[in-house]
Amino acid sequence: MHIKPDSLFAALAHPLRLRAMQLLASEHELCVCELTHALAVAQPTISRHLALLREAGLVQDRRQGLWIYYRLNTQLPGWAQDAIRVVAAGIADDEPYARDRAELATMPNRPGARCCA
């Protein structure tokens, strides 16, 4: 898995994409509707940004029934994963990232794939 560093940074440079990455870093796997709820954006908006993250190689997706689950791409080079983790840990308690996690926790009827991951 090869990724150009400036492409990695470009993918992380958008506020909404960074918020999505922070949620994925804390939750390991989320479907689009969960991200839509937690980030309070229109579905096509998050879908387009997730597609960009996928094409940049930052996330992987898998379909399960109607839902498509996204997670951080485990095949990224070590330095890229380390950078993402370092930043995630460093800003986790800042806004809006902490609030996004709280919003996610309030979501009713989350599709539960977490039990068998």
- Which positions lie near DNA, rule CB under 7 A? 10, 13-14, 16, 31-33, 36, 42-45, 47-52, 61, 63, 65-68
Q: How far is CA 17 from the centre of its chain?
A: 7
Nearer residue to a copy of itself within complex by CB, 42 or 91: 91
Query: Which residue is associated with the tokens 């068998």?
Result: 116
> What is the C-alpha separation between 12 and 76, in angstroms, rounded?
14
Shortest spacing between CB 87 and DNA, in angstroms:
17
Segment near a copy of itself (CB under 8 A); pick from 3-11, 26-34, 41-49, 107-115: 3-11
- Ramachandran assignment for 20, one of left (phi > 0), alpha (psi -120 to 50 degrees), beta (any other): alpha
- Helical segments of the chain, H only: 5-12, 15-27, 32-39, 43-55, 78-91, 97-105
Nearer residue to DNA within complex by CB, 16 or 98: 16
What is the contact surface with a copy of itself in residues (CB under 8 A)?
A: 5-6, 9-10, 12-15, 18, 77-80, 82-83, 86-87, 89-91
